[in-house]
Amino acid sequence: MTTAKKDYAILLALCALLFFLGSSLIPVTDPTESNYAETAKEMLAQGEYLSPLIYGHSWYDKPIMFYWELVASFGIFGVNEFAARFFPGVFASLGVLITYFLGTKLYDRKRGLVSALLLMTTVEYWYVAHAIITDMTLFCAIAGTLTAFYLGYSRGKPHYYYLAYAAAGVGMLTKGPIGLVLPGLIILLFLAWERNLKHLLKMKILPGLVIFAAVSSIWYLPMFLLHGWDFIDTFFGVHNVLRATVSEHPAQNVWYYYLMIFVAGFIPWVFPWLYGLARKIGQDIRERNLPTVATREKFLLTWALTVPLLFQCFATKYVTYTLPYMMPVAILFAGYYASREKLFQRMLVGTAAVFMALLFAVAAPLCQDFSGKNEAAELQPLLSENMNVVSYRGGYSASLVFYSGQTIYRLESKSGLDNLKPQKMDWSSTNVMPFMAIEEIPEGKPTLAIVDPDREANFLALAQGQWELVKEGRRVKYYYRR
């Protein structure tokens, strides 16, 4: 076995340990993971493999790629937590291997190995490797696009560009236009820094765009033919344009948001590196050195800086939006740690041990508080045929629907119902769960109500009929009306 094959084998073994062991213990959580899991569950049950479905209706929140992953995993392993978290772990492992590959091609084997080990033991990467979200698939699509580009650029082999366009098509299938726009912008800025914009003429743009369109049209074309402009307006309008221009979470729309994510996401590696960087800058100032930037560093820096700066311009901000910058930053960090072997080894072993302890002792039990799994178990003995199930809580638990398999109506007062019903080009368009006015719960068949204790008095005041408290759960109360 060659040295490279041994390295890949070691990295895969460590990925299996860090990304898969114990993943079955983490329940599906609200509000994000449960939407993906419930959608894939319904698609599999209905035999629908083109149009994402949730609560029985078409759902245009994200493209198809991640749903295909979940449907395939549910089909192989069954509908459970391990299956839901399987492909995020697979793509996290692939991302580690790409990091090793690129670090080795840019520098040497040691730099590539340190880069890969460092990446997999950062807080953010470890977290996203377990999360039921699209971001790890997008990470690999963008990494593949930019790695293929740089191989073509640095080696003068234009055939690599075809692979880059195909990878961008996968990114488009994963999260929409950002799969092409983000790597395209990075490439454009890098070539501008290189003063080599004329290289664009060598990048096979026309045949490359044909490849990109061929890959992405696998889903977008039949979706448009099937759903028409409703799909275009909702997917591109709400989930792309609105996300970029109107903040879904205004409190997060601050200039320092991604600086905080950078520091927190790269724990524990960021602090020694910042100390080393400060010392290096101080030394250069004292010695009046002007550091030169080689082509490979220009590429990595452009990649690392463009990602957070672009998303900082977006009104809606999420922790995981900037995940694609973690690969170039890890390779840059590795330059510091590759020459400090003892420090690196001690931190690596300590961090891996801490992560494993956190998964079993903290992550698994903590996620119970953000999941409807326990409520589903409490609910099951109370159910009967032809029963309405309604929920009067501060929010809506899609994970409760996922685990219980029940249609659950979200109760709201008549006055508040209009504000929650989906409106075009508004964040209310994501409210696709079934609604019901609390004052108009239909009579004629038994109804079970799931009520937050702090909303109990309001529920009893507004709901018509005689309600009996039949069970007090861990977090909610269950009322029954014949």
Residue 237: predicted pLDDT: 67
Gap between the Cα atoms of 298 and 460, Å rounded:
64
Ordered by start, the domain boundaries in the chain are 3-367, 373-481
* Regions in the chain scoring below 50 on pLDDT: none
Residue 244: predicted pLDDT: 62
Residue 249: predicted pLDDT: 66
Residue type, 467: W
Residue 422: predicted pLDDT: 66
Q: How many residues does the chain have?
A: 482
Nearest to 397 by CA among 350, 363, 433, 421: 433
Residue type, 356: M
Residue 59: predicted pLDDT: 85
Residue 405: predicted pLDDT: 94
Q: What are phi and psi of 425, to 5 degrees?
A: 55, 45
For 174-208, the pLDDT digits (tens) are 999 999 999 999 999 999 999 999 999 999 999 99
Whether 193 contacts 298, CB under 8 Å: yes
Residue 415: predicted pLDDT: 81
Residue 103: predicted pLDDT: 97
Residue 393: predicted pLDDT: 92
Gap between the Cα atoms of 442 and 244, Å rounded:
40
Residue 389: predicted pLDDT: 95
Cis-peptide, bond into residue 268, ω within 30° of zero: yes
For 359-392, the pLDDT digits (tens) are 999 999 999 999 999 999 999 999 988 899 999 9
Nearest to 304 by CA among 265, 355, 268: 265
For 93-151, the pLDDT digits (tens) are 999 999 999 999 999 999 999 999 999 999 999 999 999 999 999 999 999 999 999 99
